[in-house]
Amino acid sequence: MNAFVTRFAPSPTGLLHLGHAYSALTTYDAACAVGGKLILRIEDIDRTRCKAEFERAIFEDLTWLGITWEMPVRRQSDHFAHYTEALQKLRDAGVVYRCFKTRKDVADEIARAPHLTPEGPEGPQYVGDRLAAHKERSLLAEGAPFAWRLKTSRAVHLAEKIGGPLTFTEEGAGPKAEHGTIRATPELFGDPVIARKGLGTSYHLASVYDDALQGVTHIIRGEDLFPATHLHRLLQAVLNLPAPIYRHHRLMTDEMGKRFAKRDRAVTIKALRESGETSADIRKRVDLL
């Protein structure tokens, strides 16, 4: 058996709930089943939404669930310099551009021609391009804020020139039962923001970079992140990173069929623990006995 490395990568923006328990236990069980490793990664690049108390609760909840993981734990906010390096590689490859438009500018532009901008997984598929050099220079001189967007068409062209058609392997299932070898269609995202104003990175870039750095061979996560895989595969190809295998899993829902969210206090692991449930009860609740 080749090395098997998977990861659970929560963002400490709230308490973990039953959906997280299902995801974390699934990654842990998969690693245990083959004598592989589980990595825990704290995805806290958005410092305004992440809190130390939620990070502490992640360790506490997972330990209580009986999960163990590799040490040390990587906390993304400690590694912004790495993501800047990854962004520089994208800049060197000529596949990103500075976008000076505010959210409102973009929304207004789309409202003027909605038929040109279908919906993607993260909102309208906005496609732009870099400004003329003199305009960009004067905006930079004024200190105008900007975000980095991926020029998706150029990135796909480059990736396919090097490696042929972009595909990924799905061993689980996407929301429409997608399985097997899947053609990546990152165009679905338009030109996504790859490094946000003031943040220097995005979830997509940081996550793809870390998965490669940490030698993750199998990405096991909820099917809500299946669409993002199309973009992640493109970033891996352009950054010359290995392609992991994907296993997207179903999402846990309540009796009404509604997905659990961080605001559903009643089903947080902490609340269930405090109400006297055991970790075996949680396994039973998420059908992982």
For ligand GLU, which residue of 27, 207, 236, 268 counts as binding (CB under 6 A)?
207
Taking the mean position of all CA atoms in its chain, how far away is CA 12?
Answer: 14
For ligand GLU, which residue of 5, 6, 11, 184 counts as binding (CB under 6 A)?
11
The answer to whether the CB of 233 falls within 8 A of the CB of 225 is no
Instruction: Rule CB under 6 A: say whether 43 interacts with ligand GLU.
Output: yes
Q: How far is the CB of 207 from ligand GLU (least distance, A)?
A: 5
Q: How far is the CB of 35 from ligand GLU (least distance, A)?
A: 22
Distance separating alpha carbons of residues 273 and 268, to the nearest angstrom:
9
Instruction: Rule CB under 6 A: say whether 50 interacts with ligand GLU.
Output: no
Instruction: Rule CB under 6 A: say whether 131 interacts with ligand GLU.
Output: no
Rank residues 9 and 31 by Cβ distance to ligand GLU and give the closer one.
9
> To which H or E segment does residue 258 belong?
none
Of 6-14, 96-104, 118-126, 249-257, which segment contacts ligand GLU by CB under 6 A? 6-14
Instruction: Rule CB under 6 A: say whether 225 interacts with ligand GLU.
Output: yes
Q: How far is the CB of 72 from ligand GLU (least distance, A)?
A: 18
* x-marked contacts with ligand GLU along 237-256 as a string, rule CB under 6 A: --------------------
Could you tell me the CA-to-CA distances from 31 to 7, 37, 38, 59, 218 in Å, in that order?
9, 5, 6, 18, 9
Of 8-16, 112-120, 146-154, 240-248, which segment contacts ligand GLU by CB under 6 A? 8-16
Rank residues 53 and 255 by Cβ distance to ligand GLU and give the closer one.
53
Instruction: Rule CB under 6 A: say whether 21 interacts with ligand GLU.
Output: no
Handedness of CA 229, 232, 237, 240 (dihedral sign): negative
Distance separating alpha carbons of residues 140 and 136, to the nearest angstrom:
6
Q: How far is the CB of 157 from ligand GLU (least distance, A)?
A: 26
Distance separating alpha carbons of residues 103 and 96, to the nearest angstrom:
18
Helix and strand numbers, DSSP H then E, in the chain = 10, 12
Residue 177 is classified by DSSP as -
